[in-house]
Structure 1
Amino acid sequence: MSRLDSMLRRLNAQRDGLNWAAAQVAGQPGDALDIGLGNGRTYDHLREIMPGRRVLVIDRALQCHPSCVPPEADFLQGEAEAMLTRLKGANLRLVHYDLGFGVETKDVAEAARLSPLIKAAMTPGGIAVSGQPLVGFTQLAGPEGIPEGRYNFYRRED
Protein backbone atom coordinates (compact mmCIF):
# COMPACT_ATOMS: atom_id res chain seq x y z
CA MET A 1 0.00 0.00 0.00
CA SER A 2 1.34 3.43 -0.88
CA ARG A 3 2.01 5.98 1.85
CA LEU A 4 -0.74 8.15 0.35
CA ASP A 5 -3.28 5.31 0.56
CA SER A 6 -2.14 4.58 4.13
CA MET A 7 -2.57 8.22 5.10
CA LEU A 8 -6.06 8.33 3.58
CA ARG A 9 -7.04 5.19 5.50
CA ARG A 10 -5.73 6.74 8.73
CA LEU A 11 -7.57 10.02 8.18
CA ASN A 12 -10.82 8.26 7.29
CA ALA A 13 -10.50 6.08 10.39
CA GLN A 14 -9.81 9.16 12.50
CA ARG A 15 -12.83 11.06 11.15
CA ASP A 16 -15.17 8.07 11.37
CA GLY A 17 -13.91 7.26 14.86
CA LEU A 18 -14.40 10.81 16.11
CA ASN A 19 -17.91 10.93 14.64
CA TRP A 20 -18.71 7.62 16.34
CA ALA A 21 -17.27 8.77 19.68
CA ALA A 22 -19.16 12.08 19.57
CA ALA A 23 -22.38 10.15 19.01
CA GLN A 24 -21.56 7.89 21.99
CA VAL A 25 -21.29 10.87 24.36
CA ALA A 26 -24.11 12.96 22.89
CA GLY A 27 -26.36 14.35 25.60
CA GLN A 28 -23.82 13.67 28.36
CA PRO A 29 -22.13 16.62 30.07
CA GLY A 30 -18.46 17.29 29.58
CA ASP A 31 -15.88 18.89 27.37
CA ALA A 32 -13.55 17.56 24.68
CA LEU A 33 -9.76 17.56 24.49
CA ASP A 34 -7.54 17.29 21.43
CA ILE A 35 -4.01 16.31 22.42
CA GLY A 36 -1.82 17.43 19.53
CA LEU A 37 -3.25 20.42 17.63
CA GLY A 38 -0.91 20.26 14.65
CA ASN A 39 -2.47 22.19 11.80
CA GLY A 40 -5.89 22.12 13.45
CA ARG A 41 -7.88 19.74 11.24
CA THR A 42 -9.02 17.50 14.08
CA TYR A 43 -9.77 20.44 16.37
CA ASP A 44 -11.87 22.01 13.61
CA HIS A 45 -13.75 18.74 13.14
CA LEU A 46 -14.40 18.39 16.88
CA ARG A 47 -15.85 21.92 16.96
CA GLU A 48 -18.18 20.95 14.14
CA ILE A 49 -19.40 17.61 15.49
CA MET A 50 -19.63 18.73 19.13
CA PRO A 51 -21.39 22.11 18.98
CA GLY A 52 -21.96 23.77 22.31
CA ARG A 53 -19.05 21.98 23.96
CA ARG A 54 -15.75 23.44 24.92
CA VAL A 55 -12.88 21.86 22.97
CA LEU A 56 -9.55 22.20 24.76
CA VAL A 57 -6.26 21.68 22.95
CA ILE A 58 -2.76 20.72 24.08
CA ASP A 59 0.33 21.32 21.95
CA ARG A 60 3.88 22.59 22.30
CA ALA A 61 3.35 25.40 19.82
CA LEU A 62 0.49 27.16 18.09
CA GLN A 63 1.21 26.45 14.42
CA CYS A 64 -2.23 25.70 13.01
CA HIS A 65 -4.19 27.13 10.11
CA PRO A 66 -5.52 30.60 11.03
CA SER A 67 -9.13 29.38 10.86
CA CYS A 68 -8.38 26.74 13.49
CA VAL A 69 -6.85 28.84 16.27
CA PRO A 70 -8.63 27.94 19.52
CA PRO A 71 -9.65 30.63 22.00
CA GLU A 72 -6.71 31.57 24.22
CA ALA A 73 -8.35 30.04 27.30
CA ASP A 74 -8.75 26.70 25.49
CA PHE A 75 -5.18 26.38 24.19
CA LEU A 76 -2.85 24.75 26.70
CA GLN A 77 0.64 25.35 25.37
CA GLY A 78 3.42 23.18 26.66
CA GLU A 79 4.48 19.60 27.15
CA ALA A 80 1.60 17.13 27.30
CA GLU A 81 2.59 15.77 30.72
CA ALA A 82 2.45 19.18 32.39
CA MET A 83 -0.75 20.23 30.64
CA LEU A 84 -2.53 16.94 31.42
CA THR A 85 -1.46 17.26 35.06
CA ARG A 86 -3.18 20.66 35.12
CA LEU A 87 -6.36 19.03 33.78
CA LYS A 88 -6.61 16.37 36.51
CA GLY A 89 -10.26 16.09 37.52
CA ALA A 90 -11.53 18.02 34.50
CA ASN A 91 -14.88 17.01 33.11
CA LEU A 92 -13.57 15.62 29.81
CA ARG A 93 -16.11 13.43 28.05
CA LEU A 94 -14.13 12.87 24.82
CA VAL A 95 -10.36 12.88 24.37
CA HIS A 96 -8.49 12.54 21.10
CA TYR A 97 -4.82 11.56 21.43
CA ASP A 98 -2.64 12.30 18.41
CA LEU A 99 0.94 12.79 19.54
CA GLY A 100 3.86 11.09 17.94
CA PHE A 101 7.52 11.16 17.09
CA GLY A 102 7.13 9.06 13.95
CA VAL A 103 8.96 6.13 15.57
CA GLU A 104 6.51 3.41 16.56
CA THR A 105 8.31 2.21 19.68
CA LYS A 106 8.67 5.77 20.99
CA ASP A 107 5.06 6.61 20.10
CA VAL A 108 3.68 3.55 21.89
CA ALA A 109 5.84 4.21 24.97
CA GLU A 110 4.78 7.87 25.13
CA ALA A 111 1.09 6.98 24.87
CA ALA A 112 1.48 4.42 27.66
CA ARG A 113 3.35 6.93 29.83
CA LEU A 114 0.66 9.60 29.36
CA SER A 115 -2.31 7.22 29.71
CA PRO A 116 -2.75 7.62 33.50
CA LEU A 117 -2.76 11.41 33.11
CA ILE A 118 -5.32 11.24 30.31
CA LYS A 119 -7.51 8.98 32.42
CA ALA A 120 -7.23 11.30 35.43
CA ALA A 121 -8.50 14.23 33.33
CA MET A 122 -11.51 12.31 32.00
CA THR A 123 -14.91 11.85 33.54
CA PRO A 124 -16.04 8.25 34.17
CA GLY A 125 -17.77 6.94 31.07
CA GLY A 126 -15.73 9.23 28.83
CA ILE A 127 -14.42 8.02 25.48
CA ALA A 128 -10.80 8.22 24.29
CA VAL A 129 -9.94 7.97 20.60
CA SER A 130 -6.28 7.39 19.83
CA GLY A 131 -3.91 6.60 17.02
CA GLN A 132 -1.70 4.88 19.61
CA PRO A 133 -2.64 2.20 22.15
CA LEU A 134 -3.53 3.58 25.58
CA VAL A 135 -3.37 1.63 28.86
CA GLY A 136 -5.67 1.53 31.87
CA PHE A 137 -8.90 1.91 29.88
CA THR A 138 -11.56 -0.52 28.68
CA GLN A 139 -11.00 -1.09 24.98
CA LEU A 140 -14.06 -0.65 22.75
CA ALA A 141 -14.75 -2.10 19.32
CA GLY A 142 -15.39 1.32 17.80
CA PRO A 143 -17.28 1.89 14.58
CA GLU A 144 -17.64 -0.71 11.86
CA GLY A 145 -15.33 -0.46 8.90
CA ILE A 146 -12.16 0.58 10.71
CA PRO A 147 -9.53 -2.15 10.47
CA GLU A 148 -8.33 -3.48 13.82
CA GLY A 149 -5.29 -1.56 15.03
CA ARG A 150 -5.82 1.36 12.62
CA TYR A 151 -7.36 3.45 15.40
CA ASN A 152 -8.08 2.70 19.06
CA PHE A 153 -11.20 3.37 21.12
CA TYR A 154 -11.50 3.30 24.89
CA ARG A 155 -13.86 4.08 27.76
CA ARG A 156 -12.87 5.27 31.20
CA GLU A 157 -14.84 2.98 33.48
CA ASP A 158 -14.06 4.22 36.99
Structure 2
Amino acid sequence: MSRLDSMLRRLTAQRDGLNWAAAQIVDLDGDVLDMGLGNGRTFDHLREILPQRRIWVMDRVLQCHPDSTPPAEDFLQGEAEPMLAKLADRGPCVALAHYDFGRGIKHEDVAEAARLSPLIARVMVPGGYLISGQPLVGFEQIRGPESIAPDRYLFYRA
Protein backbone atom coordinates (compact mmCIF):
# COMPACT_ATOMS: atom_id res chain seq x y z
CA MET A 1 0.00 0.00 0.00
CA SER A 2 1.37 3.40 -0.93
CA ARG A 3 1.96 5.99 1.78
CA LEU A 4 -0.80 8.12 0.22
CA ASP A 5 -3.28 5.23 0.37
CA SER A 6 -2.22 4.52 3.95
CA MET A 7 -2.75 8.16 4.93
CA LEU A 8 -6.19 8.23 3.30
CA ARG A 9 -7.13 5.02 5.10
CA ARG A 10 -5.98 6.48 8.43
CA LEU A 11 -7.81 9.78 7.99
CA THR A 12 -11.03 8.04 6.92
CA ALA A 13 -10.81 5.73 9.93
CA GLN A 14 -10.16 8.70 12.20
CA ARG A 15 -13.17 10.64 10.90
CA ASP A 16 -15.49 7.63 10.95
CA GLY A 17 -14.28 6.69 14.43
CA LEU A 18 -14.84 10.19 15.81
CA ASN A 19 -18.33 10.32 14.30
CA TRP A 20 -19.14 6.91 15.80
CA ALA A 21 -17.79 7.87 19.23
CA ALA A 22 -19.68 11.18 19.21
CA ALA A 23 -22.90 9.20 18.79
CA GLN A 24 -21.91 6.90 21.68
CA ILE A 25 -21.55 9.73 24.23
CA VAL A 26 -24.94 11.37 23.65
CA ASP A 27 -26.13 10.33 27.13
CA LEU A 28 -22.75 10.73 28.84
CA ASP A 29 -21.76 13.94 30.62
CA GLY A 30 -18.30 15.30 30.05
CA ASP A 31 -15.95 17.23 27.83
CA VAL A 32 -13.84 16.18 24.86
CA LEU A 33 -10.03 15.98 24.81
CA ASP A 34 -7.95 16.14 21.63
CA MET A 35 -4.38 15.12 22.40
CA GLY A 36 -2.16 16.33 19.58
CA LEU A 37 -3.51 19.45 17.88
CA GLY A 38 -1.13 19.46 14.92
CA ASN A 39 -2.65 21.61 12.20
CA GLY A 40 -6.08 21.45 13.82
CA ARG A 41 -8.08 19.29 11.40
CA THR A 42 -9.31 16.93 14.11
CA PHE A 43 -10.18 19.77 16.49
CA ASP A 44 -12.11 21.47 13.69
CA HIS A 45 -14.07 18.25 13.04
CA LEU A 46 -14.77 17.71 16.73
CA ARG A 47 -16.19 21.18 17.21
CA GLU A 48 -18.41 20.62 14.17
CA ILE A 49 -19.83 17.28 15.35
CA LEU A 50 -19.91 18.15 19.08
CA PRO A 51 -20.71 21.88 19.21
CA GLN A 52 -22.32 21.63 22.66
CA ARG A 53 -19.21 20.12 24.30
CA ARG A 54 -16.14 21.84 25.68
CA ILE A 55 -13.14 20.60 23.72
CA TRP A 56 -9.81 20.61 25.50
CA VAL A 57 -6.82 20.57 23.17
CA MET A 58 -3.29 19.63 24.11
CA ASP A 59 -0.01 20.00 22.23
CA ARG A 60 3.58 21.09 22.74
CA VAL A 61 3.21 24.13 20.50
CA LEU A 62 0.38 26.06 18.90
CA GLN A 63 1.06 25.86 15.18
CA CYS A 64 -2.30 25.05 13.64
CA HIS A 65 -4.18 26.66 10.79
CA PRO A 66 -5.65 30.00 11.96
CA ASP A 67 -9.21 28.77 11.33
CA SER A 68 -8.59 25.81 13.66
CA THR A 69 -7.17 27.60 16.68
CA PRO A 70 -8.83 26.53 19.93
CA PRO A 71 -9.87 29.15 22.49
CA ALA A 72 -6.93 30.05 24.73
CA GLU A 73 -8.78 28.82 27.85
CA ASP A 74 -9.17 25.35 26.31
CA PHE A 75 -5.62 24.95 24.97
CA LEU A 76 -3.13 23.15 27.20
CA GLN A 77 0.33 23.90 25.82
CA GLY A 78 3.36 21.94 26.90
CA GLU A 79 4.51 18.42 27.54
CA ALA A 80 1.76 15.85 27.95
CA GLU A 81 2.45 14.77 31.54
CA PRO A 82 2.02 18.17 33.23
CA MET A 83 -0.87 19.13 30.93
CA LEU A 84 -2.75 15.89 31.75
CA ALA A 85 -2.03 16.46 35.45
CA LYS A 86 -3.42 20.00 35.17
CA LEU A 87 -6.58 18.70 33.53
CA ALA A 88 -6.84 15.88 36.10
CA ASP A 89 -6.97 18.52 38.86
CA ARG A 90 -10.54 19.14 37.65
CA GLY A 91 -11.37 15.49 38.36
CA PRO A 92 -12.69 13.06 35.76
CA CYS A 93 -14.21 15.38 33.16
CA VAL A 94 -13.64 13.81 29.73
CA ALA A 95 -16.31 11.71 28.00
CA LEU A 96 -14.41 11.36 24.71
CA ALA A 97 -10.66 11.48 24.19
CA HIS A 98 -8.74 11.31 20.94
CA TYR A 99 -5.09 10.29 21.26
CA ASP A 100 -2.93 11.49 18.38
CA PHE A 101 0.49 12.05 19.88
CA GLY A 102 3.49 10.64 18.07
CA ARG A 103 6.48 11.31 15.92
CA GLY A 104 6.06 8.44 13.48
CA ILE A 105 8.62 6.15 15.11
CA LYS A 106 6.41 3.21 16.04
CA HIS A 107 8.26 1.77 19.04
CA GLU A 108 8.68 5.24 20.59
CA ASP A 109 5.04 6.17 19.95
CA VAL A 110 3.80 2.91 21.48
CA ALA A 111 5.98 3.42 24.55
CA GLU A 112 4.76 7.01 24.98
CA ALA A 113 1.10 5.93 24.72
CA ALA A 114 1.67 3.25 27.38
CA ARG A 115 3.45 5.75 29.66
CA LEU A 116 0.65 8.33 29.31
CA SER A 117 -2.23 5.86 29.69
CA PRO A 118 -2.49 6.10 33.52
CA LEU A 119 -2.58 9.91 33.30
CA ILE A 120 -5.27 9.76 30.62
CA ALA A 121 -7.28 7.41 32.86
CA ARG A 122 -7.35 10.11 35.55
CA VAL A 123 -9.26 12.55 33.31
CA MET A 124 -11.80 10.09 31.90
CA VAL A 125 -15.33 9.78 33.24
CA PRO A 126 -16.45 6.18 33.88
CA GLY A 127 -17.70 4.72 30.63
CA GLY A 128 -15.98 7.39 28.53
CA TYR A 129 -14.63 6.57 25.08
CA LEU A 130 -11.07 6.79 23.80
CA ILE A 131 -9.95 6.63 20.19
CA SER A 132 -6.30 6.16 19.37
CA GLY A 133 -3.90 5.34 16.60
CA GLN A 134 -1.60 3.82 19.25
CA PRO A 135 -2.35 1.07 21.76
CA LEU A 136 -3.35 2.38 25.19
CA VAL A 137 -3.14 0.31 28.38
CA GLY A 138 -5.50 -0.06 31.31
CA PHE A 139 -8.70 0.49 29.31
CA GLU A 140 -11.28 -1.94 27.96
CA GLN A 141 -10.61 -2.35 24.26
CA ILE A 142 -13.86 -2.43 22.26
CA ARG A 143 -14.86 -2.85 18.65
CA GLY A 144 -15.45 0.42 16.86
CA PRO A 145 -17.39 0.87 13.65
CA GLU A 146 -17.47 -2.15 11.36
CA SER A 147 -16.10 0.00 8.53
CA ILE A 148 -12.73 0.37 10.30
CA ALA A 149 -10.19 -2.45 10.29
CA PRO A 150 -9.34 -3.45 13.90
CA ASP A 151 -5.63 -2.68 13.37
CA ARG A 152 -6.20 0.74 11.77
CA TYR A 153 -7.66 2.63 14.74
CA LEU A 154 -8.19 1.48 18.32
CA PHE A 155 -11.27 2.05 20.50
CA TYR A 156 -11.49 1.86 24.28
CA ARG A 157 -13.87 2.43 27.20
CA ALA A 158 -12.72 3.95 30.46
- Specify the TM-score bucket, using the shorter chain as the normaliser: over 0.9
TM-score (normalised: structure 1)? 0.97
* Correspondences of 1:53-92 after superposition (within 5 Å): 53-88=53-88, 89-92=91-94
Residue aligning to 1:19: 19
Q: Which amino acid aligns with 1:106?
A: E
* Correspondences of 1:39-58 after superposition (within 5 Å): 39-58=39-58
Is 2:135 aligned against 1:151? no
Task: Indicate if the aligned counterparts of 2:99 and 2:132 stay in contact, CA closer than 8 A.
Answer: yes
TM-score (normalised: structure 2)? 0.97
1:103 to 105, 130, 147: 105
CA shift at 1:146, angstroms? 0.7
* SS of residue matched to 2:53: coil
Q: Which amino acid aligns with 2:137?
A: V
- 5+ residue gaps, structure 2: none
Distance 1:32 1:100 in 2: 19
Distance 1:57 1:41 in 2: 12
Q: Which amino acid aligns with 2:72?
A: E
CA shift at 1:80, angstroms? 0.6
* SS of residue matched to 1:133: coil
* SS of residue matched to 2:102: coil
Q: Which amino acid aligns with 1:110?
A: E
**Cα shift readout 1:33-78 (whole Å, capped 9, x = no counterpart):** 0000000000000001111110000001100000011111000000
CA shift at 1:27, angstroms? 2.9
Runs (4+) off by over 3 Å: none
Residue aligning to 2:135: 133
Q: Which amino acid aligns with 2:140?
A: T
* SS of residue matched to 2:14: helix
CA shift at 1:92, angstroms? 0.3
CA shift at 1:113, angstroms? 0.3
- 5+ residue gaps, structure 1: none
- Superposition CA RMSD, Å: 0.7
Taking only the aligned residue pairs, the percentage that are identical comes to 67
Distance 1:31 1:62 in 2: 21
CA shift at 1:8, angstroms? 0.1
* SS of residue matched to 1:128: strand
Task: Indicate if the aligned counterparts of 2:28 and 2:128 stay in contact, CA closer than 8 A.
Answer: no
